[in-house]
Amino acid sequence: MVKLMFVSRTFKRIKITVRTSIAKPGNGQMARGNMKNLLLVYNPNGGKEGKRYLVKGLRGVLNHAMMELAKQREIEVCHISDKKTTQKGEPLLPEGYHLNGSCYPEEECIRHKLMGSLKKQSVVRFNPVIITSDNIKEEINDAQKVHLSTEIRNALMKDSKRSTQDFRERFIAGEFNLEIELLKELDQELLGFLLKSILYMPEIRWGASANNGAGKIDLLEVNLQEVTRTRTVKKGKVIEKESEQNLWKEMDEVLKAWK
């Protein structure tokens, strides 16, 4: 019996190349300008190679794309909200949707089968998109280079030094890769719906300031892949390798199969 010196996992993923001319995918406005609306993550070497940020909101774009695509095809799916009304009694649930997770388990809708809710784990996992400034000259393996810019919002009240606006917001622009891992084998219906929802994502604006022109995304590439990831130890150092194979024929088949 041959004893393997490594561990491995084989799975499918969807790899997407995205481009945006300007987007503000932040966590909201931060007062006093001390914090930016991008989430700062761990920076090795004391940040000497540039600060790294986590890009947020792409899962939300896909969620909204699923809802809109299903509505077009007259398929009722979960809304992103699990509440019917606001605290003031204003309706939150548009016609053609049901509360998030309320279909589970008896009449589980197609969106819930993929994205899940508090009642059930999602079967798709978004890998983190870590970005850094394209001004960094060094080669960086753990972050993707994009253009970063800062808008300073500062205004004073008339005849007063009291500030009515005092914060900064980060905008990003450029190309980056997004990877979505499939945690289980999906049938053609689920995989087809997922892929077509991804193709619908450019119809949804990403992040804030959408009405002012920000948040438009373009899809440059979408690839369904089979990935084998291996990990071993050599002289105490962990070595990880990854091989990938594009499944273009399977992707064409599932796109044709769904609706």
SS3 per residue for the chain: CCCCCEEEEEEEEEEEEEEEEEEECCCCCEECCCCCCCEECCCHHHHCCCCCEECCCHHHHHHHHHHHHHHHCCCCEECCCCCCECCCCCECCCCCEECCCCCCCCCCCHHHHHHCECCECCCEEECCCEEEECCCCCCCCCCEEEEEEEEEEEEECCCCCCEEEEEEEEEEEEEEEEEEEECCCCCHHHHHHHHHHHHHHHHCCCECCHHHCCCCEEEEEEEEEEEEEEEEEECCEEEEEEEEEECHHHHHHHHHHCC
The rounded distance, in Å, linking the Cα atoms of 6 and 207 is: 41
Token pair belonging to 259: 């609706």
* 13 domain residue, yes or no: yes
Token pair belonging to 177: 């890769």
Place of tokens 């548009």: 94
How many domains are contained in the chain? 1
Q: What one-letter code names the amino acid at 249?
A: K
Residues 6 or more apart whose CB falls under 8 angstroms from that of 93 comprise 79, 81, 83, 84, 99
* 1 domain residue, yes or no: no
* 178 domain residue, yes or no: yes
* Predicted local distance difference test score (pLDDT) of residue 15: 98
Q: State the residue range of the domain holding 249.
A: 6-257
* 103 domain residue, yes or no: yes
* Predicted local distance difference test score (pLDDT) of residue 28: 46
Low-confidence ranges of the chain (pLDDT < 50): 28-36
Q: Is the pTM here over 0.95, yes or no?
A: no
* 67 domain residue, yes or no: yes
Q: What percent of the chain has pLDDT over 90?
A: 60
Residues 6 or more apart whose CB falls under 8 angstroms from that of 250 comprise 224
